Amino acid sequence: MDLSANTPTQLLHALRSNNPTSPRLTWYGPDSERVEFSGRVLDNWVAKTANYLVDELDAEPGTVIALDLPLHWRSLVWMLATWAVGATAVTADGAAASAGAGGSGKEVSGMQVSGTDANIIATASPEVVHSQLSGAKGDPLVVAVALPALQMRWMGELPPRTLDYSGDVRSHADVFFADAEAEATDIAWRHVAKDSSTQETSYAQLLAGGEELLSIPGTVLAAQPQRVLLQAKEGWAAVVHDALKNWAAGGSVVLLGDGVGVSETVRASENITLG
């Protein structure tokens, strides 16, 4: 199958241009949280975040951005924004897998950020990240990311030298124009699995055409756009791969957060066709 979008730039253009008012990402989180984004709104969030990365954090091609976040709609926005900038996203299975992240003091960071080469660390656990960075080489910027959808800023006191993403991002422009683009051979994504193995994906590989298979056992992308059900418990590699392939083919994603179970009610109400 010839995918309609083969680069992050083309994918974002497709989100805002092809049926832009149709749902593209629906998130189910703890406490019955449900958030839905049309293609236009998802692109808007990505543009604001990319502008935030460039304007406030000086991100550019070659910048390494560690996502110490759970699989969540906000972390998918950060990944797409990182690629819009041409930077490298770093993820790890188990990172910040805590419900209630956003200033409760109960978050647990799953990423050993002191051992990364990150220039920027986006985290739901800023206190933990700062404790890991104490005495470490380098001086990455730490950005606190409040996860609840209606939380307009980080609730509670932030550690010194920590930026508040949720409080600052909304003031940034709704459209993003990159000053420079990554090379095809640049690393777009570095993922550390639970067994500590590392997989690197270049920009050329990120949305390479011709692959119909999803990581969901026994499923392929059909000719018509699909409404795919994905679960955070399957891990970053599976969820991000399937989301990108499906979005590029014109489909939409329903993502269930960690601990949110699959129900026939969700399948029916969301018109799930795969997963």
Q: Which of 97, 123, 127 is nearest to 110 (CA)?
A: 97
pLDDT of residue 220: 64
Rounded to whole angstroms, the Cα distance separating 113 from 95 reads 10
CA dist list (Å): 208 to 11, 46, 168, 171, 245: 12, 21, 34, 34, 9
pLDDT of residue 110: 55
Q: Is 220 left (phi over 0), alpha (psi -120 to 50) or beta?
A: beta
Q: Would you say residue 149 lies in a domain?
A: yes
Positive or negative CA dihedral for 64, 68, 71, 77? negative
Write the pLDDT tens digit of every residue in 74-96. 999 999 999 999 999 999 987 54
Strand ranges, E, within the chain: 23-29, 33-38, 64-68, 88-92, 120-123, 141-144, 162-164, 187-192, 198-202, 227-231, 252-256
Q: Would you say residue 102 lies in a domain?
A: yes
Q: Would you say residue 274 lies in a domain?
A: no
Helix axes 236-248, 73-85, angle to 10 degrees: 70
Q: What is the DSSP letter of 257?
A: P
Q: In which order are the strands placed within the sheet that holds 88-92? A: 162-164, 141-144, 120-123, 64-68, 88-92, 187-192, 198-202
pLDDT of residue 166: 94
Sort 19 into a burial class: Cβ within 10 Å, 0-12 / 13-18 / 19+. middle
Per-residue pLDDT of the chain (275 residues; tens, 9 = 90+): 344 578 999 999 999 999 999 999 999 998 889 999 999 999 999 999 999 999 999 999 999 999 999 999 999 999 999 999 999 999 998 754 333 333 333 333 456 665 668 999 999 999 999 988 876 666 899 999 999 988 889 998 999 989 999 999 999 999 999 999 999 999 999 999 888 889 999 999 998 765 555 676 666 666 678 999 999 999 999 999 999 999 998 999 999 999 899 999 999 999 999 88
DSSP string spanning 77-109?
HHHHHHHHHT-EEEEETTTT--TTTTTSS----
Q: Tell me the residue range of the domain where 79 lies.
A: 8-269
Write the pLDDT tens digit of every residue in 228-270. 999 999 999 999 999 999 999 899 999 999 989 999 999 999 9
pLDDT of residue 91: 94
H/E run at residue 45: helix 39-57
Q: Would you say residue 3 lies in a domain?
A: no
pLDDT of residue 82: 98
Rounded to whole angstroms, the Cα distance separating 127 from 153 reads 16
pLDDT of residue 132: 86
Quote the number of domains for the chain: 1
Q: Would you say residue 1 lies in a domain?
A: no
Q: Would you say residue 2 lies in a domain?
A: no
Please state, rounded to an integer, the average pLDDT across all residues of the chain. 87
Q: Would you say residue 213 lies in a domain?
A: yes
CB contact set of 210 (below 8 Å; sequence gap of 6+)? 1, 2, 3
pTM score > 0.75 for this model?
Answer: yes
Q: Would you say residue 275 lies in a domain?
A: no
Q: Residue 55: which CATH number?
A: 3.40.50.12780
